[in-house]
């Protein structure tokens, strides 16, 4: 493993986000195989590999350690070429969470350490958002996982099954995640999406943003837990945590990230975003 560069100072943001004493690590799972965009981590964006953009965003969050977790020597070579620390993992992991658990074990991270799982296909992920999920977990010792959400104002988003929704309790802990609209407004949603031009006032709906912070003790235990019935039905892995009594703290995001890169069209959009940012 190569020695990681010294992380950049944390970005501006809220009080939690700017806590200079915050101690957390980042693991970036990166797989070469991708059905819709083969070789995705190494595809060029503004002349650099996609995974390099993600890595630089992770460094800018102020993490004490950033590691790229991969099972592919091509990604290892490219990542070490731009100065990243790489942890080679098993090619047989069924999910990114399992891959992160192996990283934590191999690197000997302590059980109380906080690890943020940054997806390797989000080159424009705000560093402040990464720091926010770590700060949220650090501030809530009874939570095993922290994540973020954003308000929904468009009925199309609320009724889109690809847009995961979350509902929270009074202390902002997750009650449930679903592909269905939750909470269900009995009067306004009586006929479903049909004829609904705007959402009712006085109620807040939230979409889940798939960025997670874990305590290492939870991360290493998580892959050993049996799937929850609701997890199988909804195809949402986070429901396993709720089923087994692991609390998930869900803050409203300080910034809403742009979509990740899954297709050629997404890559073109990300390229346009890079060009606009340079202007």
Written as six digits, the tokens of 150 are 């954003």
How sure is the predictor about 278, in pLDDT bands with cuts at 50, 70 and 90? low
The per-residue pLDDT for range 14-29, each reduced to its tens digit, is 344 446 689 999 999 9
Buried b (16+ CB within 10 A) or exposed e, 173-190: bbebbbbebbeeeeeebe
The alpha carbon of 87 is separated from its chain's Cα centroid by a whole number of angstroms, namely 19
- State the pLDDT at residue 21: 82
Task: Look at strands 44-45 and 48-49 and give their pairing.
Answer: antiparallel
DSSP class per residue in 46-70:
TTEEHHHHHHHHHHHTT-SEEEEEE
Whether pLDDT at 224 is above 50: yes
- State the pLDDT at residue 19: 63
What value does the mean pLDDT of the chain take?
A: 90
Backbone angles phi, psi at 94, to 5 degrees: -75, -20
Whether pLDDT at 133 is above 50: yes
Domains of the chain with CATH codes: 25-258 (3.90.550.10)
Mean pLDDT, rounded, for 269-276: 87
DSSP 103: H
Whether pLDDT at 120 is above 80: yes
Which of 35-44, 95-104, 176-185 has the largest mean confidence? Answer: 176-185
Mean pLDDT, rounded, for 125-138: 98
pTM of the model: 0.88
C-alpha distances out from residue 244 to 51, 69, 147, 224, Å = 33, 27, 17, 11
- State the pLDDT at residue 195: 83
The per-residue pLDDT for range 145-162, each reduced to its tens digit, is 999 999 999 999 999 999
Percentage of residues of the chain with pLDDT beyond 70? 92
Whether pLDDT at 233 is above 90: yes
Whether pLDDT at 2 is above 60: no
Mean pLDDT, rounded, for 18-46: 88
Residue among 39, 226, 213 nearest 140 (CA): 213
């Amino acid at each position: 493993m190569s020695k990681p560069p010294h992380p950049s100072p944390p970005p501006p943001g809220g009080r939690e986000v700017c806590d200079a004493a915050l101690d957390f690590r980042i693991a970036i799972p990166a797989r070469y195989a991708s059905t819709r965009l083969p070789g995705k981590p190494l595809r060029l964006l503004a002349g650099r590999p996609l995974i390099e953009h993600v890595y630089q965003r992770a460094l800018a969050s102020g993490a004490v350690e950033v590691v790229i977790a991969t099972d592919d020597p091509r990604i290892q070579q490219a990542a070490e070429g731009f100065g990243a620390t790489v942890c080679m993992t098993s090619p047989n992991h069924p999910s990114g969470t399992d891959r992160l658990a192996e990283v934590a074990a191999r690197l000997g991270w302590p059980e109380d350490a906080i690890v943020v799982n940054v997806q390797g296909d989000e080159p424009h992920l705000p560093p402040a958002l990464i720091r926010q999920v770590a700060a949220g977990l650090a501030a809530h010792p009874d939570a095993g996982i922290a994540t973020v959400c954003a308000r929904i104002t468009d009925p199309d988003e609320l009724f889109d099954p690809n847009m995961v929704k979350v509902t929270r309790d009074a202390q902002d802990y997750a009650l449930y995640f679903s592909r269905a609209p939750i909470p269900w407004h009995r009067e306004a949603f009586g006929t479903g999406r049909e004829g609904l031009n705007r959402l009712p006032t006085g109620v807040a709906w939230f979409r889940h943003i798939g960025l997670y912070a874990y305590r290492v003790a939870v991360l290493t235990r998580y892959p050993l837990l049996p799937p929850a019935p609701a997890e199988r039905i909804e195809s949402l892995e986070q429901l396993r945590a709720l089923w087994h009594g692991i609390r998930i703290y869900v803050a409203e995001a300080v910034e809403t990230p742009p979509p990740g890169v899954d297709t050629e069209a997404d890559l073109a959009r990300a390229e346009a975003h890079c060009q606009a940012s340079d202007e």
